[in-house]
């Protein structure tokens, strides 16, 4: 199970990073429209604009994708902290929706890996291997 987990993570690492970078870029771009209504956002809009203005390196290398991911996640972290520091009842609907979207993205990233269904599938494959007649060719 551990080997399957490692192989799956290795196989999908670049795609996961690329997809996460696209999702975070979209969340940050959405934030720019709504930030004017956030009282505790001093300098956050310009930080997000600068982050989004930096041209992404188009190479599909884990090191390049990871560096971009770290930059995007730092801006996303500042954004979510600003949203959490604000009174939730005072957030405009676009900011409240943005907050929900950010947490949905974070939940989906955190949920990657083994789930009940993965473990169940692994157990089924192992049971099938054990039940198969063994080849005892001399």
Look at residue 48 and tell me if it is in a domain. yes
Residue 26 banded pLDDT, cuts 50, 70, 90: very high
Question: Would you say residue 118 lies in a domain?
Answer: yes
Confidence of residue 31 (pLDDT cuts 50, 70, 90): very high
Distance between CA 52 and CA 64 in Å, rounded? 16
Q: Tell me if 35 is assigned to some domain.
A: yes
The answer to whether residue 61 is domain-embedded is yes
Q: Which domain holds residue 36?
A: 13-131
CA 68/CA 83 separation, integer angstroms:
23
pLDDT of 115 higher than 60: no
Average pLDDT over residues 32-44: 73
Residue 44 lies in a domain: yes
Within a domain: residue 93?
yes
The mean pLDDT of 14-40, rounded to a whole number, is 87
Domains: count for the chain:
1
CB-count burial class (<10 Å; 0-12, 13-18, 19+) for 58: exposed
| Separation of alpha carbons 74 and 28, rounded Å | 11
Cα separation, 25 vs 12, in Å, equals 20
Measured at the alpha carbon of residue 26, what is the angle toward residues 48 and 54, in degrees to the nearest 5? 45
Choose between 111 and 61: higher pLDDT. Answer: 61
| Residue of 105, 109, 107, 106 lying closest to 13 (CA atoms) | 109
Q: 5-19, 34-48, 54-68 — which one is most confidently predicted on average?
A: 54-68
């Amino acid at each position: 199970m551990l080997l399957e987990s490692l192989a799956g993570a290795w196989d999908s690492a670049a795609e996961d990073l690329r997809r996460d970078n696209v999702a975070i870029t979209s969340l940050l771009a959405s934030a720019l429209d709504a930030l004017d209504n956030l009282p505790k956002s001093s300098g956050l809009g310009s930080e997000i604009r600068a982050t989004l203005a930096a041209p992404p390196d188009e190479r599909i290398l884990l090191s390049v994708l990871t560096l971009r991911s770290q930059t995007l996640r730092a801006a996303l972290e500042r954004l979510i902290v600003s949203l959490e520091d604000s009174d939730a009842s005072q957030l405009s609907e676009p900011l409240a929706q943005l907050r929900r979207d950010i947490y949905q993205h974070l939940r989906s990233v955190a949920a990657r890996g083994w789930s009940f269904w993965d473990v169940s599938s692994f157990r089924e494959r192992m049971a099938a291997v054990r039940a198969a007649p063994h080849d005892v060719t001399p």
